[in-house]
């Protein structure tokens, strides 16, 4: 699924649609805060399963929401989801194939000044993140808001001691993911460091004032089966991404293989002590 810096997003299409469905309540709550009365044009950049595009549309009274993504297979699933879920003729919800690195075609596709631009977990995939943020800020109308969902705290799901392998397995997964992330960024074309936080990046794009709000999501154990399944699938995906990188030890990979095998007595899907604890940050800058 991943070769060096190049992520095959098409291979993630089902996971991204599942995530957009599972995160529906979070999207709704965030959209309620972000959409202002009178908003007419909103853009969801790097839309994945179009979860935010749909949530924003639900809070607008008229106008247009445009979801864009650089991966044709993702555009296809986003379009299918919008077709299934959206019927209100007062708000048009469109999907377009655009690479946000191509600043001119992004601007031409949006075709006007946006009241709200949302970009979740996409800017960190650009070599030059500040350039990307500047391009998103340039799409805004006066009074428009750019919201970046980036950072927060990595999700926790497992007790420290699982009774299988060495304790602290999940913390070592987080550490390995952090090193994977550094490698991913190091291999991006036109990479430029951004050695300051997201708020400062918004200010450098001429957006003032800026705010950051972080939401804690907590589901205590025992998780209902759909949530438990989603947690196990997400862990399986994350371990899979790291499998051939050398970032997890053979001993930890063996433990994960047992935990993720439905035929093994240690299978995570059979445990009542999985939980969900996650903090997600949204950084907003205003075109004043
Ligand atoms: C980690 S997913 C996030 C999806 C969604 N925003 C969410 O938060 O669930 C990143 C998404 O950005 C898209 N993407 C990656 N690079 C892009 C680029 N340069 N321009 C537009 N979309 C891009 C991918 O195809 C993928 O759908």
Tens digit of each residue's pLDDT (9 = 90 or more) over 98-156: 999 999 999 999 999 999 999 999 999 999 999 999 999 999 999 999 999 999 999 99
Ligand 1 center from residue 262 Cα (angstroms): 31
Task: State phi, psi for 39 to the nearest 5 degrees.
Answer: -60, 135
The CA distances from residue 20 to 50, 205, 249, 259, in Å, are: 7, 28, 32, 25
Q: Is 18 in the pocket of ligand 1 (CB under 6 A)?
A: no
Distance of CA 194 to the CA centre of its chain: 19
| Residue 280 bridge partners (DSSP) | 152, 215
Q: Where are the domains of the chain?
A: 2-286
Ligand 1 center from residue 47 Cα (angstroms): 6
User: Which CATH code, of 3.40.47.10, 1.10.3720.10, 3.40.50.150, 2.60.120.20, is assigned to 2-286?
Assistant: 3.40.50.150
Instruction: Identify the pLDDT of residue 18.
Output: 86
SS3 assignment, position 1: coil
Assign 4 a pLDDT band (cuts: 50, 70, 90): very low
CA angle, residues 154, 160, 163, in degrees to nearest 5: 135
Testing ligand 1's pocket by substitution, the residue of 70, 73, 147 carrying the most ligand atoms inside 8 A of its CB is 70
* Percent with pLDDT over 70 in the chain: 98
Testing ligand 1's pocket by substitution, the residue of 122, 132, 177, 181 carrying the most ligand atoms inside 8 A of its CB is 122
Tens digit of each residue's pLDDT (9 = 90 or more) over 222-267: 999 988 998 999 999 999 999 999 999 999 999 999 999 999 999 9
Ligand 1 center from residue 99 Cα (angstroms): 9
């Amino acid at each position: 699924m991943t070769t060096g810096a190049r992520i095959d997003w098409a291979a993630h299409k089902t996971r991204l649609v599942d995530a957009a469905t599972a995160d529906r309540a979070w999207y709704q709550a965030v959209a309620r805060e972000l959409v202002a009365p009178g908003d007419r044009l909103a853009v969801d950049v790097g839309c994945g399963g179009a979860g935010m595009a749909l949530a924003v549309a639900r809070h607008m009274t008229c106008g247009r929401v445009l979801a864009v993504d650089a991966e044709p297979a993702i555009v296809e699933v986003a379009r299918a989801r919008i077709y299934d879920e959206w019927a209100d003729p007062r708000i048009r919800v469109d999907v377009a194939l655009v690479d946000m690195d191509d600043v001119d075609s992004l601007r031409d596709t949006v075709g006007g000044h946006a009241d709200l631009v949302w970009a979740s977990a996409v800017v960190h995939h650009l070599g030059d993140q500040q350039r990307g943020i500047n391009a998103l800020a340039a799409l805004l109308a006066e009074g428009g808001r750019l919201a970046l969902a980036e950072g927060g705290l990595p999700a926790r799901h497992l007790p420290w001691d699982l009774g299988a392998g060495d304790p602290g397995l999940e913390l070592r997964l987080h550490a390995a993911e952090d090193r994977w992330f550094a490698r991913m960024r190091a291999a991006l074309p036109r990479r430029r460091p951004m050695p300051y936080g997201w708020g400062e990046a918004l200010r450098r794009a001429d957006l003032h004032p800026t705010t950051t709000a972080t939401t804690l999501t907590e589901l205590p154990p025992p998780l209902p089966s759909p949530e438990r399944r989603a947690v196990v699938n997400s862990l399986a995906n994350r371990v899979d991404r790291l499998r051939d990188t050398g970032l997890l030890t053979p001993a930890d990979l063996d433990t994960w293989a047992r935990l993720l095998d439905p035929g093994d007595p240690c299978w995570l899907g059979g445990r009542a002590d999985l939980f969900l604890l996650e903090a997600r940050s949204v950084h907003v800058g205003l075109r004043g």
